[in-house]
């Protein structure tokens, strides 16, 4: 899924490929990890919901795992770059969520 290049920070982690060649875009490897974390969290939630109501503890566990993976993806970047990547990270998370909802 291609996300428009609006509000993206620079890619500065060594070895990261940048999608589209624009230095203000989120690195492709980071974007893939963010997308995977959102999809995994949604899949885990759907699996839990398929067996009955999802408890608050189960929801917290799912969110913790997803958050941890996203923070690991951002952790490879210098602090200043992480700050710049937050808007594009949130945008990527929301775009992945909406795309996953569309696929049902």
The predicted pLDDT at position 18 comes to 42
Q: Which residue has the tokens 């963010």?
A: 34
E-only strand ranges, 1-104: none
User: What's residue 85's pLDDT?
Assistant: 93
Give Cα 91 distance to the centre of its chain: 8
Beta bridge partners of 18: 27
pLDDT of residue 100: 86
- Residue 18: helix, strand or coil by DSSP? strand
Rounded to an integer, the average pLDDT of 48-77 is 94
Q: What is the DSSP letter of 27?
A: B
Mean pLDDT score across all residues of the chain: 82
pLDDT of residue 104: 64
**pLDDT class of 57 with cuts at 50, 70, 90:** very high
């Amino acid at each position: 899924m291609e996300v428009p290049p609006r509000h993206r920070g620079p890619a500065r982690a060594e070895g990261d490929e940048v999608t589209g060649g624009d230095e203000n875009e989120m690195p492709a490897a980071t974007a893939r990890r963010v997308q995977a974390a959102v999809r995994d969290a949604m899949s885990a939630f759907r699996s839990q919901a398929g067996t009955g109501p999802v408890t608050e503890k189960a929801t917290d566990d799912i969110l913790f795992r997803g958050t941890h993976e996203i923070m690991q993806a951002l952790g490879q970047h210098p602090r200043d770059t992480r700050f710049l990547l937050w808007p594009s990270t949130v945008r990527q998370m929301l775009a992945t969520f909406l795309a996953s909802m569309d696929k049902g």
